[in-house]
C-alpha cells in the first residue's frame, strides 16, 4: 500500500477536525490534529503565568514543552493530560498569539513533519498544504460562513460541557481568523493547488463523502 498524505486547512471551526477524524478512520490513516499542539503550548504558557502576548517569554518555554498526541485523541503536555483544558475558552482566545510566534511554529512543525514521515496521514491545521507538507498528495481548503462555524462550535461546546456564550464564540472565531490570516510567518491561506470545499450547507456525512471522493479522484486506488 502506498503512503498517502492528506492536508486539510481552513479557518476556525470549519469542521476540519471532525471530518479529518472520520476520513482517517475510513481509510485507516493516522489523524494529526496540529491545532491541538498550538492549544497545548498555549495551556502551558497560561499555567506558567506567562502573558501569551509576550513573545519573548513564551519562546523561552520551548525547551520545557513536550507535546504528545495519542491515537485516541488524548493530548499530553510535559506530563500533564491537557485533552480537556485545551478546548476551554481561555485557551481558544489566546492560541492565535502563540501560533503567530515563528520559533514556536518551527518547533511544532518539526514534530508534525516527523509524525507524517513514515505513514499515511490526514493532517489538519492552517498551514499544512502551504508550509508543513507542501508535497501532500491531496490538499483541501475547507470553509464555511462565520455564522455556520459559530453555530457548530457553540453546539459542540455545549455537548462537551465546555462553558461559553454564543457571543464569545462569534468573537473568538472572527478574532482567530483575523490573526491567523494576517500573521507574517505561515499564515492561513489556501495553497495554490488546494481544492476549496464550502461546507456551509452540507451535513457531516456529505462532507465526509465529498472528501473521500476528492482523495479517490486524486490518488486513485491505494
196-to-49, 140, 156, 189 alpha-carbon distances in Å: 40, 6, 24, 11
Bridge partners (DSSP) listed for residue 32: 123
Region label for 161, one of left (φ > 0), alpha (ψ between -120 and 50) or beta (otherwise): left
Q: Which of residues 104-163 bind ligand CDP (CB under 6 A)?
A: 125-128
Beta carbon of residue 187, minimum distance to ligand CDP (angstroms, whole number): 9
Q: Count the site residues for ligand CDP by CB under 6 A.
A: 16
* 101 lies in the binding site for ligand CDP (CB under 6 A): no
* 187 lies in the binding site for ligand CDP (CB under 6 A): no
* 180 lies in the binding site for ligand CDP (CB under 6 A): yes
* 5 lies in the binding site for ligand CDP (CB under 6 A): no
Q: Applying CB under 6 A, which of residues 139, 152, 176, 208 lies at the interface with ligand CDP?
A: 176
Beta carbon of residue 221, minimum distance to ligand CDP (angstroms, whole number): 29
Q: What's the farthest any 2 CA atoms get from each other in the chain? A: 50
Cell of 174: 472572527
The stretch among 58-66, 72-80, 94-102, 135-143 that binds ligand CDP (CB under 6 A) is 94-102
Nearer to ligand CDP, 33 or 215 (CB): 33
* 95 lies in the binding site for ligand CDP (CB under 6 A): yes
* 13 lies in the binding site for ligand CDP (CB under 6 A): yes
Beta carbon of residue 96, minimum distance to ligand CDP (angstroms, whole number): 4
Distance CA 149, CA 126 (A): 16
Q: Applying CB under 6 A, which of residues 99, 138, 144, 169 lies at the interface with ligand CDP?
A: 99
Distance CA 10, CA 126 (A): 6
Distance CA 50, CA 31 (A): 31
Instruction: Please check whether residue 109 is in contact with residue 7, taking contact to mean a CB–CB distance below 8 angstroms.
Output: no
Distance CA 161, CA 176 (A): 22
Beta carbon of residue 95, minimum distance to ligand CDP (angstroms, whole number): 4
What sign for the dihedral angle of Cα 148, 83, 114, 51? Answer: positive
* 39 lies in the binding site for ligand CDP (CB under 6 A): yes
Q: Within a 10 A sphere around the Cβ of 64, how many other Cβ atoms?
A: 10
Applying CB under 6 A, which residues contact ligand CDP? 12-13, 17, 34-35, 38-39, 95-96, 99, 125-128, 176, 180
Amino acid at each position: 500500500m502506498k503512503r498517502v498524505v492528506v492536508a486539510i486547512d481552513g479557518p476556525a471551526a470549519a469542521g476540519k477536525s471532525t471530518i479529518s477524524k472520520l476520513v482517517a478512520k475510513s481509510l485507516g490513516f493516522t489523524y494529526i490534529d496540529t491545532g491541538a499542539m498550538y492549544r497545548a503550548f498555549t495551556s502551558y504558557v497560561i499555567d506558567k503565568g506567562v502573558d501569551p502576548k509576550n513573545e519573548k517569554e513564551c519562546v523561552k518555554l520551548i525547551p520545557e514543552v513536550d507535546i504528545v498526541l495519542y491515537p485516541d485523541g488524548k493530548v499530553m503536555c510535559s506530563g500533564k493530560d491537557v485533552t480537556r483544558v485545551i478546548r476551554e475558552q481561555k485557551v481558544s482566545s489566546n492560541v492565535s498569539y502563540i501560533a503567530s510566534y515563528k520559533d514556536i511554529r518551527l518547533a511544532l512543525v518539526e514534530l508534525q513533519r516527523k509524525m507524517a514521515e513514515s505513514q499515511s496521514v490526514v493532517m489538519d491545521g492552517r498551514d499544512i498544504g502551504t508550509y508543513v507538507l507542501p508535497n501532500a498528495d491531496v490538499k483541501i481548503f475547507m470553509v464555511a460562513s462565520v455564522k455556520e462555524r459559530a453555530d457548530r462550535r457553540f453546539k459542540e461546546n455545549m455537548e462537551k460541557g465546555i462553558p461559553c456564550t454564543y457571543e464569545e464564540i462569534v468573537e473568538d472565531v472572527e478574532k482567530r481568523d483575523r490573526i491567523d490570516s494576517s500573521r507574517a510567518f505561515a499564515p492561513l491561506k489556501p495553497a495554490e493547488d488546494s481544492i476549496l470545499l464550502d461546507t456551509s450547507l452540507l451535513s457531516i456525512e456529505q462532507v465526509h463523502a465529498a472528501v473521500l471522493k476528492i482523495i479517490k479522484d486524486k490518488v486513485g486506488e491505494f
